[in-house]
Chains A and B, each alone.
Chain A
């Protein structure tokens, strides 16, 4: 085994010799540099491997044969092996990445670079304070050198500011070291720790200075203006080194020095870390410069890891995993993002759309962003989950809340950026110029992130490798993305069918899960069939669609809260990409994501309370949460309601569903929304009526008003798909209201609505989506008279709206009947009437929809329009089959559900053999009603036929209209502002107050960020003063 001392020897030797190489030997020297870095990586890597296998123990390396305190000693333990490997890997990859640039600048740059990497290695390994000081200095000077190597005024300024700041900092460090030596009689860290220097007041000052300086090296918010300038003006290739390698070393030093002061210092580190994480991310929300944005994010992430380091005493055995997962995640993702920035060469984040020119880079970018925010399957997801669980279970709720707030703030700008990249109009002709040496390092960190996520699995309770099976298939679908759409469609359907077959045993026997299984999986397959309608390749569609379904399947089958959350986030990610595919979806996908992330964090907190109460990740923990009961259940309910788009949390839905592609709308509307319902149902069952009395009462009102406002807004839409989207809000309001009643009838009504809404909304969105594509317009008033052109579509929509409006004899009425019974038995009369009013209003938009599309006047440009393709009609008619069956035999569906529910609620519905349903209030025989109505219909039709002779077919404009014969369909088709009277009367109810409310909140956040940002004046002296003030304040808080 090669000793770690050779890392230093090789680096110093190389740096020395490179100086002798002339300009003519630049190629040789560059390869020598890489070889050196590679060898350094090899040394630390082999130690890591040995520690991993357990074949070595911690090694102390003494210089000059003396033991400390008489000599400097280095340590190579498991932790040091990990850290040095990380530093050297990024050093090597960075060397590869900057290969050409370093060669251009010359041998001196290579020397400086290799010295920097070496100094970071020593900082990690050394156990001697003065030695630490020396190498911190070397590192600082090397960093400044690397910055100043860029010969422009910005870099010069940044380098100067950096030197000023680090000068102040290292001065303080030196004073601290002198003090420490005076009190402890040793410069050895372990010696100082055992000397308990921090106990005396003067000794505490020494410890304070050392810790404060090491904290300042990590650029804590807000004394970090100089650090931000470094990120902004250094070459992105070097930014990656600063963000990934230097920060890794800095964090590790803080971690190893902290015990010097004893337990007391940990809380301050937590505080500083939190302020940095939240503050930096908050200010980042206003940032438009890509590299500076990455700087904010880096500092934020470092703050997060710092927080975790401070939390070490609290986290106990979980500390190593959490800290390492978060650090590694930041390290890989940030290196990748900086390197991407070097390829893109665009300062403004709004110019990053050029990334779309290279699919591989785009995917990598997405991976980095999602890893930073903490989505599965990346290590930060596992780390954050464990962190929040541990924090809440140790009563550190506020820390957890602040961490989630900081993460959310990071999401604000990261998803804004992602949206710009995915959707901004491409304004350039130039292609991306990517050389292999820049591309490969990014690929390596991207793949490492995925691998790291995979290997995080065993460290988290409730996590299974099983969850990665669908992800494997998704990756496979991504690899074959070049194939035509129909091939991938067939493969996707086959994959989903097979996966459904595998997971069915997991839901079998649980009727509630089986119902959602049918909606998620069978519904998913049906909506995929619609995809046969699409031509071309549909790049990127199938992986993300499958990701959403994989998430849904995981939610359904997981038995742990972790699994549920894993699936939930996976589904969110998949659906985000599905939604953003729409032409004008950028802002809507963005607000969808923000609501989803916020909702997910609420759920996470709720789960953490459950975990605290029950001590297990099993879903059963949600039953009888004993700590912060009301808060926990409320958080969970609100979290799930972000997905069901309940009133107040609904503003993302209309745009997201309305602007999505024609076959995506049914996926996200008919299917995805049910995930929220599933969550709520699960929650309510575990919570029980007693515990959640008040919450349920409030949710009942929320549901009622959601139904009213959603439906009323739908009436006034001119856009066909937005009408359906608002209708979803209303329908989900019914469902929330129904299940909040917590009675058997209420839940039966809820299930009826869940099933019906799935069936009719899928039909309506599939067909209307197809029509929107055919006619080339979303606007209802530009359609009209399509009945004769598209009779099959008409019948499908007709069945859909009859079910929607709850008109007997179709199954929609089953929901209404159950509703009436449930409302009167529960005693929620007034809320109930609001819901029934919403139902009457639903009838209005149902009519508007079918009239404006199919009836009225056919437009001239639609005269040659064709019926929709079978790929659209077949799934729609399969769903119609479902409605007809449910309408004719409601007992077959509702009786088993009722039986299942009687395990939770007193049974209130009886079924006789012939389909008659009875409650104490009412009775209804769906089967008989259907027969009576169909018979009467046939008889009356026969009568009309009998008394009517041969009819003459009328032409389009052959109507009586103000004694004129109209000839322009546009002026004769009544659709625009169809319900003007209603609008005048009660239109004020849907004034966009809630949208305005959220807009104001977001403005306030951005204004606050803008205000704080004024701290960064850009003046080096001011930044130096910041550092001093920071130290003073820190001093008074900690020791004063």
Chain B
């Protein structure tokens, strides 16, 4: 078989695994959360049922072209992030399309889905969508600061932005993980992750429980199914990003699943414990401690270079 087609099929398989693992991880987390609240929680297969239900709806409402392709943008954003990052360490077939760009590409590609989604939801004219977006953008900008500092500290440390080289440098025992070789950068990065995952205390963007706010409010049926698909993928991929940066990546699918679960669990766990921040507070918070730690991380890395 032609190499490029092979590559395509392997990547598709990887995407399929990640998608289903995302569903499973999501419902597991919901169950854990429910148990903490003294409830039973949803069945573990709930996400698949939701998908089937949403796709089977026969009413399709649209506000216009942009509304229609907003979820497409969003899902392309999620899939793209998957495509541009290698899945397993040192594996040629599981390296996806990471040869076309590295960490920098990934950082900026996050915005691609956000923008499309924001545009699509805005076309509905719902004020809630725009309020959610404006909050999300403000928080995202603040989160980027410690995130960028962490990434730069790592780039100074390993002298590369390439995933495969960052991963190679972390192989040979957990003491080689960035978490231990560059703890300050890891702390800054992981704090940034809390914001990136948008769990409590940084979930005012979607405010999921009390008032339906945020971009997904205006979507339903197949459109919402696409968004759900994306959120399943992106949760795993985001977790994988931090796993690759700080926790030595994964050399088998098993390790991939274990590590992404725990990385994701960190944000969920903290979300269970802390109440929600207002946007101005979360912006201030990210620009304070995580940023200071990030700056120190960069200075230390530059000093040891």
Contact = CB atoms under 8 A, between A and B. Distances in A.
A677 B102 CA distance: 30
A605 B241 CA distance: 54
Contacts of A947: 55, 222, 225
A953 B58 CA distance: 14
B99 to A, nearest CB: 7
Interface string A818-858: 00110110010110110011001101100110110001110
B250 interface: no
A850 B123 CA distance: 11
B168 to A, nearest CB: 15
B284 interface: yes
Contacts of B99: 923, 925, 928
B247 interface: no
A950 B279 contact: no
A972 interface: yes
A299 B102 CA distance: 68
B35 interface: no
Interface string B157-199: 0011110000000000000000000000000000000000000
A897 interface: no
Contacts of A948: 60, 221-223
Contacts of A951: 60-62, 68
Nearest to A923: B102
Contact of A806 (B69, B108, B223, B280): B108
Contacts, number: 236
Contact of B58 (A821, A936, A949, A986): A949
A956 B156 CA distance: 52
A1001 interface: no
B111 A836 contact: no
A954 B61 contact: yes
A807 interface: yes
A960 interface: yes
A952 B104 CA distance: 41
Contact of B111 (A805, A829, A848): A805
Contact of A959 (B75, B125, B155, B159): B125
Contact of A808 (B69, B109, B159, B284): B109
Interface in B36-79: 55, 58-64, 66, 68-69, 71-73, 75-76, 79
A328 B18 CA distance: 82
A986 B283 contact: yes
Interface string B92-112: 000001011111110011011
A941 B130 contact: no
A2 interface: no
A979 interface: yes
A255 B221 CA distance: 93
A940 B97 CA distance: 17
B100 A929 contact: yes
A66 to B, nearest CB: 90
A978 interface: yes
B177 to A, nearest CB: 21
B222 A921 contact: no
Contacts of B122: 851, 855-856
A785 interface: yes
A984 B278 CA distance: 11
Contacts of A805: 111, 115
B231 interface: no
Contacts of A944: 68, 71-72, 222-223, 226
A857 B133 CA distance: 16
B124 A959 contact: yes
A802 interface: yes
Contacts of B212: 960
A925 B62 contact: no
A985 B280 CA distance: 5
Contacts of A343: none
Interface in A493-550: none
A984 B280 contact: yes
A150 to B, nearest CB: 68
B283 A981 contact: yes
B170 to A, nearest CB: 17
A922 B64 contact: no
Contacts of B159: 920-921
Nearest to B71: A944
A738 to B, nearest CB: 15
Given A808-B108, A817-B105, A954-B61, A960 B126 contact: yes
A905 interface: no
A952 B125 contact: no
B128 A829 contact: no
A726 to B, nearest CB: 16
A830 B295 contact: yes
A921 to B, nearest CB: 5
Given A829-B298, A830-B295, A785 B125 contact: yes
Given A805-B111, A960-B218, A921 B161 contact: yes
A932 B59 CA distance: 32
A916 to B, nearest CB: 8
Interface string A919-935: 01111110011001100
A952 B287 CA distance: 45
Interface string A853-868: 0011100000000000
Given A788-B64, A961-B128, A840 B141 contact: yes
Contacts of B112: 807-808, 933
B131 interface: yes
Contact of A932 (B97, B155, B225): B97
Contact of A802 (B115, B140, B225, B278): B115
Given A833-B145, A840-B141, A855-B123, A937 B160 contact: no
Contact of B126 (A920, A936, A959): A959
B127 interface: yes
Most buried by A among B55, B69, B75: B75
B76 A937 contact: yes
B109 A982 contact: no
B152 A855 contact: no
B83 interface: yes
Given A856-B130, A947-B55, A961-B128, A832 B144 contact: no
Contacts of B20: none
B9 interface: no
Nearest to A969: B125
Nearest to B140: A840
Contacts of B142: 985
A981 B148 contact: no
B270 interface: no
A920 B63 CA distance: 48
A877 interface: no
Interface string A939-979: 01101100111111110111111000000000011110011
A829 B59 CA distance: 52
Contact of B119 (A855, A923, A936, A978): A855
A953 B161 contact: no
Contact of B141 (A820, A837, A925, A933): A837
Nearest to B294: A833
A952 B68 CA distance: 12
A808 B105 contact: yes
A932 B64 contact: no
B290 interface: no
Most buried by B among A844, A916, A920: A844
26 contacts: A785-B125, A787-B66, A807-B108, A807-B111, A823-B152, A824-B152, A829-B149, A830-B295, A833-B152, A833-B298, A840-B141, A840-B145, A841-B141, A855-B130, A916-B100, A920-B159, A921-B159, A933-B80, A948-B223, A952-B61, A957-B125, A960-B126, A979-B138, A981-B138, A982-B279, A984-B280
Given A824-B156, A850-B119, A857-B125, 14 more contacts: A823-B152, A833-B148, A833-B298, A848-B134, A851-B119, A855-B125, A856-B122, A922-B102, A924-B100, A940-B76, A944-B72, A948-B221, A961-B128, A979-B137
5 closest A-B pairs by CB: A981-B279, A855-B122, A840-B141, A928-B100, A974-B130
